[in-house]
Every structure is written in structure tokens, then in C-alpha cells.
Structure 1
């Protein structure tokens, strides 16, 4: 019951921060004040605040209390290999995946290089936009070698390709190499995204491997500049 209490307080504080009850760089009420507001102990409040800090909503400053951070951007993990569906489950905003293209193609010279593919290989091409809170702000361009992914459907692509690959095809997805850079917005971006006047876009290239080190997927994920911050955790050795 005690654990449920601090989680409920955490979610309530998150909602208030997202709704602008406190602006970026405002100071939260003290632990004592919050304890009175929520009719609970300071220890329960401290647990809720620790969770807020861990998830990037506040910065706890010794002697100054808790400062609200700018949460207008969505956290996109640089390290790790997660699907959009897994990310969306933590966002608590309405999300939707729109499939624009789903077809089998022969690789051109560029895809041959990216996927280490031969001319006889067939490749699934999947173009999807990701809509968050009514705005299409991510364009995912996925390419899978068909010899490892024999079947794809629109329904699978609207839900989670990775969930299908791992649960249905029993593929063991192991690791990815990533490249991040800023690119000019192109016509495809303007066609499928709500660009909102921006001239540049953040691109994340993923080269995804199975557990036997087989490269089977190449992805270009294009993100609107104002909506994401790319985060990682680093420890000095």
C-alpha cells in the first residue's frame, strides 16, 4: 500500500508538471509542504521525488530543493535497443503508428552497402510515421532482409515489428550500431511528417544484428528537432 502511495504521488506530480502547473526551473514545494498536501509521510514524498529525478522531471539541489526541468521534449535513448511500442508505453500520451509503405524490393546500391546484401536478395521496405499527441514527428524507414523476415503485414507494422520478430519468428535480436546526425528536411519528410517550418531534422541510423552477429535490419529514423532529446547514461571507468 505504501509503495502504491508514492507511485500515485509520482504520477500526479508528473501530470501537473506536464500540464504546466510548474514551469521549467520553478521550485517544487518542499517535502514538508508536499507531505501535508498529500496527507502522507516525508519518506513517501522523498521516494516520489527520487523517481521524478530518475526520470528527468526534476533536479534535486542540496539546500535549494527540487527544480523542475524542461519536459517539453521526449527522451529518446541513444544506448539500448527498444521498439517504439516499448518507448510509447512510458510516454503516457496518445500515440499512433501510420504505415505509408510496405513492399518487397530489390536492393539498390545504397541498400546493398548498408545491409551487406547481394543483388538477388529481397528486402522488406517499411515506411511509417509516428504520431504523438496528434502530431507526426518521427519518420521510420525500415529495411529487413526477407530471408530472415519472410512475412510482414500492415497490422504487424502498426503494432510492433520487434514483438512479432521475437515472439512469433523467434529471432534473437542482439545489438545495434547507431549513427546520429542532423540532416536537411527533404520532400519525404514534408510528405509524411508535420514539419512545422523546420529546415533540419535529426537522423538516427540503426544497423541491427542477431545474436550470431548477422546484420538483418537497417533503419533510418528521422525525428523533428524540437520534440526530442537524445539521452544516454555514461560511467567513467
Structure 2
């Protein structure tokens, strides 16, 4: 039984964080206090705290203690190609997509550079806000080659563009290159997002290719700072000695 005390500690604090009893930023009792409460050793307490940290519930700060993380942040995979509709199905929160722009336009010099096309090349421009629990916290601005994506409607944009491309146009979306940075908010951010006093957003620029390597989509996904964390799984590869 003694060996399982760290699991009891983990489950107790996991439940308190999941139910909101412990708010983000709250400080947990010290290791000594937890050892007294659970009648165990500090080593066992550390195992429970480490498990909480590994599962994203707390952040352990050397010399200061353990603090509750915001579990309300949604995890966006860096390396995966996941549509918002697929992600939203996992959220368990009320959400909707607000479509502001769906138009076929000439790319212009800036977008032509991103898509490696000529400025007069036709592209679909789609601007959508993602609203979760009543707040617009993502702004997606997409540009797709009109000679690849032959049609685009408001209904498609409001549902799932990728589902339409794969199931109706039978396109094979293969891979994407992504660039992530933090930038100052723009006029369009302030118009279509609920930013409060925020002056910066996280911007994910994506360059999406078909399986024949055609670059057919350039996207800017703009995220409110306090609502998202970007995750990836990394495995160290040991290089062979020469």
C-alpha cells in the first residue's frame, strides 16, 4: 500500500485541478507538508508531483514550489496535420466557426511569394474565426490555389475544408511545413478576435502540400496567447560515430 501513496497524491490533486477546486497559478503545499499529510516520505511525494508535472497539471519551479498549470489551454500538435473540426471533436466544449470571407481573388505579390506562384494566379481567400465557449480565440486566414480547389462555399468553410478536399475532390493532403512565432496584433486580429488587452498573438504559418508535392495552401492561424499550447513528441536519435 505504501508504494501506491504517490498515486493517491496524484489522483487527489488531479481531481482538484480537473474540477477547478485548484485554480491555475495556485501553489501546492510544500513537499514536507505533503509528506506529513500523506504520512509518507518526501521521495514518495516527489514521485506523485513528478507524475502531475509529466501529465501537464503542474509546473515545478526549483526553490519556489509546484504551481497549477492552466488545463484550459488546448493542445495543438506542431507536427501533425489536424483540421479544426477534428480537434474540436475532442474538446468537449461549445464551439463554432464564424466565416467572414470566402472569395476568389488574384494572389497579389505577398501571397504569390508564399505559394510560389505569379501575382495574377487565382486563389481562394478564406477568413474564419474559431469561437470556443463564447470567445473568438483563433483567427484562420487561408489561401488555396483555385486551380486545385475548384470550388469553395461558405458552407464548406464553416464545416471542414479538409474533409471537402479529401472526400469530394479526392485530393491527398500529405505534409506541411510550419513556422511559429509571436507577433503584434493587427487590425484584422482586433476586428475578428476577442483579445481584451492583449497586444500580441501566436502566429502559425503553414505551407501545405499534396502527395505529389504540390504546394496548394498557405495559411496563417492566429491564436490568443492565453488559450493555447503547442505540443510535439520528440525522440532523441543518436548519430552513429564516424
**TM-score band (shorter)?**
0.7 to 0.9
The residue number in structure 2 matching 1:166 is: 166
**1:149-170 deviation per Cα after TM superposition (whole angstroms, max 9, x unaligned):** 0001111111100011001111
For 1:188 and 1:15, locate their aligned partners in 2 and report how far apart those are by CA, in whole Å.
Answer: 39
Report the CA distance between 1:26 and its aligned residue.
5.0
Contact 2:127 2:141 in 1 (8 A): yes
Q: Which has the larger radius of gyration?
A: 2
The residue number in structure 1 matching 2:100 is: 100
| Distance change (3 Å), C-alpha of 1:16 and 1:167 | farther
| Distance change (3 Å), C-alpha of 1:170 and 1:58 | farther
**1:10-62 deviation per Cα after TM superposition (whole angstroms, max 9, x unaligned):** xxx988744403445659xxxxxxxxxxxxxxxxxxxxxx9x98864579xxx
For 2:74 and 2:156, locate their aligned partners in 1 and report how far apart those are by CA, in whole Å.
Answer: 25
Correspondence list, 1:110-189, <5 A = 110-189=110-189
The residue number in structure 1 matching 2:62 is: none
Are 2:78 and 1:78 equivalent residues in the alignment?
A: yes
Report the CA distance between 1:184 and its aligned residue.
0.5
For 1:15 and 1:146, locate their aligned partners in 2 and report how far apart those are by CA, in whole Å.
Answer: 49
Contact 2:128 2:139 in 1 (8 A): yes
**1:114-172 deviation per Cα after TM superposition (whole angstroms, max 9, x unaligned):** 01112442100000000011000000000000011000111111110001100111100
Report the CA distance between 1:73 and its aligned residue.
1.5
For 1:127 and 1:16, locate their aligned partners in 2 and report how far apart those are by CA, in whole Å.
Answer: 39
Q: Unpaired runs of 5+ in structure 2?
A: 1-12, 30-50, 60-66, 238-242
**1:179-202 deviation per Cα after TM superposition (whole angstroms, max 9, x unaligned):** 011110111100000011100111
Report the CA distance between 1:79 and its aligned residue.
1.1
Contact 2:174 2:211 in 1 (8 A): yes
Q: CA RMSD in A?
A: 2.6
- Secondary structure at the counterpart of residue 91 of structure 2: coil
Report the CA distance between 1:70 and its aligned residue.
3.0
Contact 2:108 2:120 in 1 (8 A): no
The residue number in structure 1 matching 2:201 is: 201
Size of the aligned set, in residue pairs, is 198
| Distance change (3 Å), C-alpha of 1:195 and 1:15 | farther
The residue number in structure 1 matching 2:240 is: none
Report the CA distance between 1:69 and its aligned residue.
4.3
For normalisation by structure 2, the TM-score amounts to: 0.74
After TM superposition, the structure 1 stretch with the greater mean CA deviation from structure 2, 99-108 or 113-122, is 113-122
For 1:130 and 1:92, locate their aligned partners in 2 and report how far apart those are by CA, in whole Å.
Answer: 15
| Distance change (3 Å), C-alpha of 1:15 and 1:144 | farther
Q: Unpaired runs of 5+ in structure 1?
A: 1-12, 28-49, 60-66
